[in-house]
Amino acid sequence: MKCGTILHVLKEEFRLRKFGFGNVEDGRFNTFQFRLPPIVYILYRLFLALYTMSWLIVTRNGSIGGAKLA
């Protein structure tokens, strides 16, 4: 492949009109994409957030009930 051909392909690929979501349905951006009911997903994410925050707090203090962590 010639250098001119590669430059032509790159030039066409990165044209301004090719950026964006011009021919994508609006529903793709506001539809829940997981197969679980939304409440299950929200509860799962809430549990993970609370678990992570509690773990960070415990490890920051370096102890659980006065006993040092390993």
What is the span of the domain harbouring residue 45?
3-68
Question: What is the pLDDT, as a whole number, of residue 62?
Answer: 66
Question: What is the pLDDT, as a whole number, of residue 30?
Answer: 75
Domain total in the chain = 1
Strand-pairing partners, residue 63, are: 68
Question: What is the pLDDT, as a whole number, of residue 45?
Answer: 93
Question: What is the pLDDT, as a whole number, of residue 51?
Answer: 96
List per-residue pLDDT tens for the chain, 70 residues long: 566 788 888 888 888 777 777 777 877 777 777 788 889 989 999 999 999 999 888 887 666 666 665 5
Question: What is the pLDDT, as a whole number, of residue 44?
Answer: 93
Q: Are 34 and 41 in contact (CB under 8 A)?
A: yes
Q: Are 33 and 26 in contact (CB under 8 A)?
A: no
Tell me how far apart the alpha carbons of residues 21 and 36 are, in angstroms, rounded to a whole number.
27
